[in-house]
Amino acid sequence: MAEPFARAFRLAPVDGSIWSLTLDLPGEKVNKLNRVVMTELGDLLPELERRGKTGEIGALIFRSGKKDQFIAGADITLIQAAKTAEDATSLAQQGQRLLNAWEDLPFPTVAAVQGPCLGGGCEWALASSAIVMADDSATRIGLPEVMLGVIPGMGGCVRLPRKVGLVQGLDFILSSKTLSGEKALRAGWVEAVLTAQQFESQVLAWVKKNLASLQAGRRLAREPKLGGAGGPVGNILEHTAMGRAVILRKAREGVLAKTAGRYPAPLEVIEVLRDTAAAYSADKVRGEDRDEALSREARGFGRCASTEVSKNLIRLFFLTEAVKKKTGLEGISSEAGQRPKEDAPRSSETRVSSGDIIRQAGVLGAGVMGGGIAQLFADRAISVRMKDLNTEALAVGVQAASRLWQKQMKRKRLTVRGFQQRLNLIAPTLTDDGFQSCDLVIEAIVEKMDVKKSVIRSLEKVVRPDCVIATNTSSLSVSQMQEGMQDPSRFVGMHFFNPVHRMPLVEVIRGKQSSDRAVAAVFALAKRIGKTPVVVQDSPGFLVNRLLAPYLNEAMYLLSEGAGISDLDSVLLEFGMPMGPVELIDEVGIDVGEKVAHVLFEAFGARMQPCPMTSAIVKSGRLGKKNGKGFYLYSDGGKSKSPDPEVESLMGPSGDKDPGRVSRQDMLDRCLLPMINEASRALSERVVGTAGEVDLGMIMGMGFPPFRGGLLRYADELGAREVVKRLRDFASRVSVRFEPSQALLEMAEAGKGFYSEFSESSE
């Protein structure tokens, strides 16, 4: 008979002395280690121990009561709530004590993992005598704590390397990789992978078969046999102190090269693994060794959790999680009063907004963006018809997609069969054949209003009446494109960023006549293909380009005043941007940047006045990376770059220049503050609804450094008063384009920040 132990746990006999403990957190979709679970586990452990000592329980299977969900991790709000390093250390220690007691139970425990087993959930599994995993795609195991700016703090840093060796343990923790059962088995992380169908009975059979070994505490042979002995796939170096030192030094160098030391967590992982090496190189860690190692880990966790970097990464995590729950119809659409009367039948709306309906897509244009979008669709099992004007253009698009998959094959992330399946999903075409069966068509043709309008009008005659039509325009008005359409409600902007496969943001642009149905369909599709959608109003530059333009424009002004190209880039790189603004404009195309600057100048006037130097550079034939010549010179197909001494002569009258005139702080402020200023305007115009959306957009769309939490977190850290003060200073010293916005002035006056002024209650 099942014995309900507590609210989250269920303890029940299964077969003889084999019992099961089921975790099923009430009222939640997933299991997480929150206060309820931890408290109840604390109450449960003495009871388990008692039943073990009497011989009643001889082995315990630990499972989840939620379908396809094991444990998603620790409750992150607990980490967020820890105010000081001491608070966070003691939080980790509470968890460690529970898992130690679990590890010390007088009978073997087997974690039966089906569904994600991450973070704290994985640390719990690691404290068990054995882990068995289901062989389905939803089942993954991993320690992704570093992504949240912390380290595994409930024994993961100690127990994982003990199981898989130092080299692999470091790799798994530093990379936040999650592994399938098969890979985890190969790594020695888990003891067996079992068929997902009838997983429970498979697990029971496995436990019965291995009961004697489990009870004797013997190491188990891994199943299925992989050839060679079980146990960690050791690297020969890690068996000596000197070897370990080399491994750790290399890891540190690798982390520093990638992060320039801005993220404390990966460095702390390395330090913890160094200091606890003795503990995990022993076969079993018990008693003082274990206590010492875990207390070192808890201190490291405390240190990281109390940093601003971790707080920012956790906020970012919550922002992206919030998007997953949205439909695209919240916030600005209703408040801005932009919602048109619904014209679509309700049933079709629900079907479309579920996001599952888009099985067939069409892409017009096989260029940089069209080819990238088609690749992405096919990669996510959506079949695509890709149309262009001639076979050469089509070939370029197909080859671009094919190259990306070939890279994945090289890295063993894709099989030859998977490659062929994906490639077969892209049907290149010069005609409209097959577009009748498309659920959505996105156009990515030349950026010209009249061409786009006429192409969209002809397309409407070909596709089904319920087909959603989207534009990937980067600067033209979606509402204007809707004019003259038979059914403008089906039309919406879906703005991808370049390169499509890498940039996570999609701006979903609501035109004046776009229906909820079209917006929801595109929003859901963006999520389904792994992107982060943000709904923005149809306003010049939308969100990201509107903010990016003053940033790049100011970089041009700085160069024209004598700032050095590499100096300027290095200032922003040091701030944490993935590339400097000068390199970025080369990447975007100086001509493209110039065009966008003019569009925004027309829309917003003096504060967006383009720097005259830019057109002189374009006229000299320097377009950027695409023609090998911009502010930098590119060679080796764009792989290497060096400053171009000749470009200096085009950057302004040499008499005017004084490299020392602009300080590094001024360079930084002059690039960043105009973006903050513009963001305050975009928010007051409700281009997006919240400060969080601006931050998501800038992190995902331009690579603003995540550790800073976003542009507006940075602004809030400076404080509106300080931002206004610095802007005014530049307005008097440099140009009126720095005049602070009304919104900023009011925030400064009221002592408010972006997050207190422009936030949803859920944030």
Vertex 57, ends 55 and 59: CA angle to 5°? 120
Q: Find residue 60's DSSP bridge partners.
A: 19, 109
63 — phi, psi (to 5°)? -135, 170
Judged by CB under 6 A, does residue 393 bind ligand NAI? yes
Evaluated on CA atoms 330, 333, 339, 345, the torsion sign reads: negative
CB of 374 to ligand NAI, least distance (A): 11
Nearer to ligand NAI, 204 or 400 (CB): 400
CB of 467 to ligand NAI, least distance (A): 16
Binding mask 599-638 for ligand NAI (x = CB under 6 A): ----------------------------------------
Count of residues engaged in binding ligand NAI, rule: CB under 6 A: 22
- Which residue stretch of 289-297, 413-421, 471-479, 692-700 sits at the interface with ligand NAI (rule: CB under 6 A)? 471-479
Distance between CA atoms of residues 706 and 358, nearest Å: 32
Nearer to ligand NAI, 231 or 367 (CB): 367
Nearer to ligand NAI, 367 or 576 (CB): 367
CB of 496 to ligand NAI, least distance (A): 6
Nearer to ligand NAI, 48 or 478 (CB): 478
Binding mask 340-379 for ligand NAI (x = CB under 6 A): ------------------------xxxxxxx---------
Nearer to ligand NAI, 340 or 367 (CB): 367
Kind of pairing between the strands at 73-74 and 32-33: parallel
Catalytic residue among 239, 495, 501, 598: 495
* Angle between helices 691-702 and 544-560 in degrees, nearest 10: 60
CB of 320 to ligand NAI, least distance (A): 21
Give the CA dihedral 165, 166, 171, 173, nearest 10 degrees.
Answer: 90
CB of 680 to ligand NAI, least distance (A): 25
Kind of pairing between the strands at 178-179 and 141-142: antiparallel
Are 340 and 489 contacting, i.e. CB atoms less than 8 angstroms apart? yes
580 — phi, psi (to 5°)? -75, 165
Helix (H, G, I), strand (E, B) or coil at 661: coil
CB of 446 to ligand NAI, least distance (A): 5
Nearer to ligand NAI, 403 or 661 (CB): 403
Q: Which amino acid is at 699?
A: I
CB of 286 to ligand NAI, least distance (A): 58
Residues in 428-447 that interact with ligand NAI by CB under 6 A? 444-447
Judged by CB under 6 A, does residue 737 bind ligand NAI? no
The H-assigned helical ranges of 589-690 are: 590-604, 612-619, 664-684
Judged by CB under 6 A, does residue 597 bind ligand NAI? no
- Which residue stretch of 289-297, 417-425, 495-503, 716-724 sits at the interface with ligand NAI (rule: CB under 6 A)? 495-503
Catalytic residue status for 495? yes
Nearer to ligand NAI, 432 or 729 (CB): 432
Q: Where are the beta strands (DSSP E) in 68-177?
A: 73-74, 109-113, 117-118, 130-134, 141-142
Are 670 and 560 contacting, i.e. CB atoms less than 8 angstroms apart? no
Name the residue number minimizing CB distance to ligand NAI.
367
Are 128 and 62 contacting, i.e. CB atoms less than 8 angstroms apart? yes
Helix (H, G, I), strand (E, B) or coil at 233: coil
Nearer to ligand NAI, 152 or 365 (CB): 365
**Cis peptide before 499, with omega less than 30 degrees from 0?**
yes
CB of 448 to ligand NAI, least distance (A): 8
Distance between CA atoms of residues 602 and 596, nearest Å: 10
Question: Catalytic site residues?
Answer: 495
Q: Which residues make up the interface to ligand NAI (CB under 6 A)?
A: 364-370, 387-389, 393, 444-447, 455, 472-474, 496-498
